[in-house]
């Protein structure tokens, strides 16, 4: 059998494509892409001319079967998405699950990923984080999803479109309170890369006052909630205090 390669591509700066990614893309028999026109431009820039198949959310199941039949017969296929790492808020899950089920080798060619790039430079804790992708578009469902996350102690990471960024930061202020730290990473690796950080209120003020904030792509990061003190910890602290009190001057 051939191999299915999952290849990360740039999230803005074309120089971020790895040497290995370029080599794999030039060696495979076929490239499956979310949008063949968009990816065609990247391949043209790299001087690569390959047959391409479109693979998106609506045809992934059908396409997966055809693609994997070819890999089983010995061809190699690379999956790419419009930007960054496939399967991360992008198509490919059905294809990879099916490949694994059929015992077909799947090999990642790692590289750019907006959420990792954003976290690496935000200055928020990264030891534990929860990637939530895109929140639901409808107001009620969004509020509910945020409410469910309000006591989460890990750093939260979201993807958001520029159209909704102001609304989202306002919703964060409502759900998580005005003091929660937020970092927005806009246009990562591109000419107008910008980080906004501060409390929900400060960041809201900053983007409302920035005429460019309505353009570009965003990763939204929110510091986790302070850990809740458990009843056990409170009881223990109370006992320690009782023991210490008589000894205090
Ligand atoms: N698969 C991609 C990855 O690895 O990050 C993500 C694809 S998702 C459809 C697109 C979202 O990723 C955008 O709406 C934005 O939230 C985020 N994103 C992608 N490129 C970005 C960039 N250069 N700067 C900030 N956010 C970016």
What is the pLDDT confidence band of residue 231, given thresholds at 50, 70 and 90?
low
Closest CA to 92 of 83, 81, 102, 84: 81
Query: Could you tell me the pTM of the whole model?
Result: 0.91
**% pLDDT > 90, the chain:** 87
- Which ligand 1 atom minimizes the distance to the CA of 220? 16
Alpha carbons 180 and 186: distance in angstroms, whole number: 19
What is the pLDDT confidence band of residue 246, given thresholds at 50, 70 and 90?
confident
pLDDT tens digits, one per residue of 139-166? 899 999 999 999 999 999 999 999 999 9
- Quick one: pLDDT at residue 240? 80
- Mean pLDDT (the chain) is 94
Q: Where are the alpha helices (DSSP H) in 58-216?
A: 60-72, 93-101, 114-122, 139-149, 165-176, 200-208
Report how far ligand 1's centroid is from the alpha carbon of 161 (Å): 9
Alpha carbons 189 and 199: distance in angstroms, whole number: 24
- Quick one: pLDDT at residue 87? 98
- Which ligand 1 atom minimizes the distance to the CA of 118? 25
Give the 3-state secondary structure of residue 245: helix
pLDDT tens digits, one per residue of 174-200? 999 989 999 999 999 999 999 999 999
Report how far ligand 1's centroid is from the alpha carbon of 20 (Å): 22
């Amino acid at each position: 059998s051939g191999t299915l390669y999952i290849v990360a591509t740039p999230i803005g700066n074309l120089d971020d494509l790895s040497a290995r990614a370029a080599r794999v893309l030039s060696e495979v028999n076929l490239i499956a892409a979310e949008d063949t026109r968009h990816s065609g431009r990247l391949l043209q820039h790299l001087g690569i001319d390959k047959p391409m198949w479109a693979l998106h959310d609506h045809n992934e199941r059908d396409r997966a079967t055809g693609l994997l039949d070819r890999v089983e017969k010995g061809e190699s296929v690379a999956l790419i998405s419009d930007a960054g790492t496939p399967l991360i808020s992008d198509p490919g899950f059905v294809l990879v699950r099916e490949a694994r089920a059929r015992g077909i080798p799947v090999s990642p060619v790692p590289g750019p990923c907006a959420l990792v790039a954003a976290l690496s430079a935000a200055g928020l804790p990264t030891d534990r984080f929860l990637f939530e992708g895109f929140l639901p578009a409808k107001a009620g469902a969004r509020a509910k999803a945020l409410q469910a996350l309000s006591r989460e102690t890990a750093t939260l990471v979201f993807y958001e479109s520029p159209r909704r960024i102001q609304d989202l930061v306002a919703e964060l202020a409502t759900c998580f309170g005005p003091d929660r730290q937020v970092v927005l990473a806009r246009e990562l690796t591109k000419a107008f890369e910008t980080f906004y950080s501060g409390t929900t209120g400060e960041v809201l003020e900053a983007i409302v006052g920035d005429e460019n904030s309505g353009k570009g792509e965003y990763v939204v990061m929110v510091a986790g909630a302070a850990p809740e003190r458990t009843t056990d910890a409170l009881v223990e602290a109370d006992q320690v205090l009782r023991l210490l009190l008589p000894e205090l001057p």
